[in-house]
Amino acid sequence: MSDTRRRVKVYTLNEDRQWDDRGTGHVSSTFVERLKGISLLVRAESDGSLLLESKISPNTAYQKQQDTLIVWSEAENYDLALSFQEKAGCDEIWEKICQVQGKDPALEITQDPIDESEEERFEEMPETSHLVELPPCELARLEEIADLVTSVLSSPIRREKLALALMSEGYMKKLLQLFQVCEDLDNREGLHHLYEIVRGVLFLNKAALFEVMFSDDCIMDVVGCLEFDPSLVQPKKHREFLTKTAKFKEVIPITDSELRQKIHQTYRVQYIQDIILPTPSVFEENFLSTLTSFIFFNKVEIVSMLQEDEKFLTEVFAQLTDEATEDGKRRELVNFFKEFCAFSQTLQPQNRDAFFKTLANLGILPALEIVMGMDDLQVRAAATDIFSYLVEFSPSMVREFVMQEPQQTDDDVLLINVVIKQMICDSDPELGGAVQLMGLLRTLIDPENMLAPTNKTEKTEFLSFFYKYCMQVLTVPLLASTVDEKNCKDLQEGSTKINPVCPDHFQTAQLLALILELLTFCVEHHTYHIKTYIMNKDLLRRVLVLMNSKHTFLALCALRFMRRIIGQKDEYYNRYIVKGNLFEPVINTLLDNGTRYNLLNSAIIELFEFIKVEDIKSLIAHIIDNYYKALESIEYVQTFKGLKGRYEQEKDRQTLRLNSRYRRDARTLDEDEEMWFNEDEDDDGEAIEKSRPEEEFPESYGKYMEAKKGAANGTNGANCKPATSPTSAASPNGSPAKSAAPPATPVVKTAMVGLVDYPDDEDEEDEDEEQSPRKRPRLGS
């Protein structure tokens, strides 16, 4: 009994004014030597670690709320709360706090949160002025009461005193009884005063008052008071909505009356906050913080009570997956789970973890697989929302489930394929559901959240699964819409241009844009798998067909896909693009766009600018060789001239390397051959030019030497003919194999241009190279 009474949850208020759960444990109050005072200690029930150690300071304002909550601030912007499982435990710790501070435990707050200037004024007031005296609760005094409530809102001290006065002698209930009298008499003036009173009481921000106002016998009168806003000509009909329009549906009967009452209360209070009360101003936001906390802790309690009732949840799942369940009943069950998951968002991470694990163990994913494939649009939409909660919470949990499916079912009914098909078949003209599902698929295939240390092979295994079983389903609309030109003619008005995008209406274009966005993500994050898929399916060629679409946003998506591929700077991709001549549709689009300066034009220019800046040589050569004649007239940017410049620089570098190799080959004779050459020189000093076997030199070198000899002959008029007998080749044993009578043609020494590197001959060499057909760029082809 003692353990249960002292069992608490520790909460801290974060920057977003939301409560963060720090853990569950048992609280005690004891003297701590290090802190030199009585302190609150909370030790975790799981491992006994210290969750909280807080000295009870004489000057700290502690506040008790809802009988089971104690809230206080330890420093600026650092609020703490203890949520007790039982009221008795809360009362026990509250008495200890009040004992340390010398306060009356009957109070709901131990200190007045007042600023220094107000405290000084407060000390100067006579003792009798500390109390707020309420006028008698009568119809004739409603205006006076309304003025009093409105006037205290600016003073923390007077708000506290007024709250104490309202809680005494059942004053709040008496006010609400006056509402019934005013409504029966149609006393509009009195009803308008009651609106101001009830609104002001809510802004007092006191949990004890909320407990009274939101009880079953008072809450509808509170709603009634708030219907008569003086600024409205006619009162709102909030009570009619709550009692007649809003229906409480029990998909499975809830036997726990406390749970049912808590659900009703939470719905109505949420309605008051979200619908009835006007949006608070900047100065009023903090006035409703306790109301927000009231709703928050109610939701936590509801989820906890439902989660602990295993019989209830088991029955819900059984009916959800039962084929005999009527469609209307199944719709209600799915909507229940949607609300259940929405409530779970109020839980803290560790509690939410336990919540979703409970759902997973009960079979939420197989159930979703069934209901997401149903024809009912409402059911599918609710199931999608539930699926989004699961994916956002734990993508790994979803991936683990889907990877086990191929062993149990056909490819067509795999959960991810069901999701993809629902995305493809979204009937919404704006594809709202498809956009949501695409985001969920992106989360599931994102390698960044596949780094769980518990499963290091998750990335490899899941991507292999996805590309084997799911990628072909995702690309079906893309492949179906990008057919051959001869099979589909989309003739635009006043044009005979063939458009191979079939069909090319807006909704299809939107869907294809979503699919391309996902494929572009894959190119960036799935290097190996997507590359293999693109090569095998010739996917880029099909995507670039969409450059012909009449929808510019779709053409831009296709271009972005190609831009990501080129951005990988992968030579496999580059060779694939060159071999398939895949720049042609891009350049055709650029030329068709003409002189229009728009996003499409800029995106295409940026693509070529990237190739130029990154100096992707294979693509530059391909573009210049094949398309430069079509592009050279574009002069409003220097991109294409820059590409030509890069091309010429690389061509010059290759030429210089080739020339250097020619000269090196010509001068680097074997040592034995050089000796043989020297031995066979004539006495008169005439030089004999020897050459290596023809097969040891490339063909181009022979042409190069012929050109050099021709130049020499033209200059000196000598018929220079070197000995080219095959007998001059080296023998197998390494010594020169000489002919019996080696031919020797006397030549003039100045004609030996091929063996000597004279600077005066460089211009001559350049002219010869320009005449070579192998060096002429094919710009017009």
Nearest to 320 by CA among 362, 377, 268: 362
Q: Which residue has the higher pLDDT, 402 or 517?
A: 517
* Residue that has been written with the tokens 């069950």 in this structure: 333
Rg (CA), the chain: 43
What is the average pLDDT score of the chain?
A: 78
User: Which residues have C-beta within 8 Å of that of residue 414, sequence separation ≥ 6?
Assistant: 402, 405, 406, 469, 470
Least confident of 19-23, 561-565, 670-674, 704-708: 704-708
pLDDT tens profile 648-661: 999 888 888 887 77
Average pLDDT (47-58) is: 86
Strand ranges (E), 672-718: none
Which among 33, 50, 532 has a CA at the least distance from the CA of 41? 50
Task: Look at 524 and 594; give whichever has higher pLDDT.
Answer: 524
Residue pair 79/72 in contact by the 8 Å Cβ criterion: yes
Ranges of beta strands (E only) in 468-530 are none
Residue 383 CB neighbours (<10 A): 26
Determine the Cα–Cα distance for residues 577 and 574; give it in Å rounded to an integer. 5
Given a cut of 80, is residue 92 above it in pLDDT? yes
Winning range, highest mean pLDDT, from 293-302, 481-490, 573-582: 573-582
Burial 415-436 (b: 16+ CB within 10 A, else e): bbbbbbbbbbebeeeebebbeb
Model pTM score: 0.62
CA dist., res. 224 & res. 199, Å (int) = 12
What mean pLDDT comes out for the span 386-390?
92
Confidence of residue 63 (pLDDT cuts 50, 70, 90): confident
What's the pLDDT tens digit per position in 177-209? 999 999 999 999 999 999 999 999 998 888 889
User: Order of strands, edge to edge, in the sheet holding 62-65?
Assistant: 50-55, 37-44, 19-32, 7-13, 78-84, 69-75, 62-65
CB-based contacts of 23, cutoff 8 Å, min separation 6: 9, 10, 42, 44, 46, 51, 350
How far apart are alpha carbons 400 and 660 in whole angstroms?
61
